[in-house]
Amino acid sequence: MDKNVLGGHPKGLYLLFSVEMWERFSYYGMRALLVLYLIQYLFSGMDEKVATQYAGNIYGWYTGLVYLTPLVGGYIADKFLGQRKCISIGAIVMAIGLFTLAASGLECLKSVSILVFTLGLTLMIIANGFFKSNISTIVGMLYGDDKQKRDAGFTIFYMGINLGAFFSPLICGTLAQLYGFKYGFMAAGLGIIFGYITYKFGENKLLGEHGLKPVQTEIVRESSEEEDVVVRKKLTTREKRRIYALFILMTFSIFFWICFEQAGCSFTLFAENETQRHIGNFEIPTGYFQSLNPLFIITIAPLMSMFWSWLASKGKEPTSVVKFCIALGMVGCSALIMATAAHFAGESSLVSPLWLVFTYLCATLAELCLSPIGLSLVTKLAPVQFASILMGTWFLSSFFGNLIAGVFSGFYEHMSHTLFFCILAGAAFVIAIILTAIRPVLQLWMGKN
């Protein structure tokens, strides 16, 4: 395996790191603007509560569907095109979608802005289906049988995601505030174009044959007196149990994403309306707060990667299930911090931005215990012929989590904000306790006693 001397990771990891950075720049740049664009532009003539509910529902369906379509994209990659062709298709369609969103903000298209906006979102959903599961699958392919390095490698890859996510709200949010939403969407579109150019420039040299063609299902040829009979290899009991364990963890991670994905909806509304954002004459753009999570990822992820590797060398690294339990508990704590902030906001109208800082810090630590570990876990446990399909299936938890998060955030203005965040915290804590109780069974199915 072609290794990079830095930490012994494959050279292709750093190419995929860069490509994913630009793709996530595009996604999080537009996500930072989405709810505010809907409320302040497309639904500007509506009652605020109605506009908030509509915006929350659209946000939920959009951010959910971008995690549903990777299941289809994974199937197409595994059976027909291979991962690398699908990544190229996804990048091109994504750029078209983002420029279409920008066009929906043009005054000359005001009469059909909702139609153009819907077309742009639809293209983005399709594009993510081709892109998201397949690039993660190739990262796993680069490591072959080197499972010990894989968690650390996916944590490094996750830094690429969050490097793009850090800069995008700053750049796209600033352009949107100073010049209009359409310029923020255009900047996001340029980001994915840079990513596509980077990918085409380095893929053949650094990725070799990985992901170039569909993985053929292993077959067994049996002889009979009359003719040879070709029989597809069946999944073993061990493989089936591993898949069952994956599905159970996917189900539990839904509750993590319900809490975590409040960042683009209720957290954004809290930052906009209940947070003191003035520093002298400068007003902090609301979208800047969404850069906190990726900023913390960038600074903490290398330390976390080294920490997991160090624990593994000592034989003390927590299992993936334990990491999931920790993640659910910590994301519940982040919601509890928001509930406390909402309580004080009710008394003093505006609260310190430090409440959001600590919320995002807690949520980031939780994310590092679940999201990159989940990606790594799929590549460890999935049978090779179903690698991309199961990676797409893994993103189903994000589909349901984002959808429910958006729909639930639609009730943000219909109840006490303290109660709103307490519901999220309570759900996360309960699920963490249940997962802890069934942990021994899951670890047995996964092959770890």
Say what the pLDDT of residue 218 is: 44
* Cα-only R_g, the chain: 22
**How many CB atoms lie under 10 A from the CB of residue 392?**
30
CATH number at residue 32: 1.20.1250.20
Whether 338 is in a domain gets the answer yes
Tell me, yes or no, whether 82 lies in a domain: yes
DSSP state of 351: B
pLDDT greater at residue 102 or residue 152? 102
pTM: 0.72
161-165, 228-232, 376-380, 393-397, range with the lowest pLDDT: 228-232
The pLDDT assigned to 221 comes to 46
Q: Is the pLDDT of residue 220 over 60?
A: no
The number of folded domains in the chain is: 1
pLDDT at 258: 93
Within a domain: 17: yes
Residues 357-396 pLDDT 10s: 999 999 999 998 888 788 778 877 777 767 667 777 787 8
Query: What was the pLDDT predicted at 448?
Result: 54
- Per-residue pLDDT for 2 more than 70? no
Q: Is residue 85 part of a domain?
A: yes
Taking only the tens place, the pLDDT of each residue in 284-298 is 888 788 888 888 888
How far is it, in rounded angstroms, from Cα 311 to Cα 38? 46
Within-domain flag for 336: yes
Domain range enclosing 193: 11-213+236-446
Separation between Cα atoms, residue 102 and residue 188, nearest integer Å: 9
Q: 418 in a domain, yes or no?
A: yes
Q: How confident is the model over 40-60, as pLDDT tens digits? A: 888 887 887 888 888 888 888
Query: With 90 as the cut, is the pLDDT of residue 426 above it?
Result: yes
Residue 366, pLDDT score: 94
Is residue 43 helix, strand or coil? coil
pLDDT at 188 over 50: yes
Asked if the structure places residue 3 within a domain, the reply is no
Residue 2 to residue 208: CA distance in whole angstroms: 9
Residue 227 lies in a domain: no
Rounded distance, CA 449 to CA 443, Å?
Answer: 6
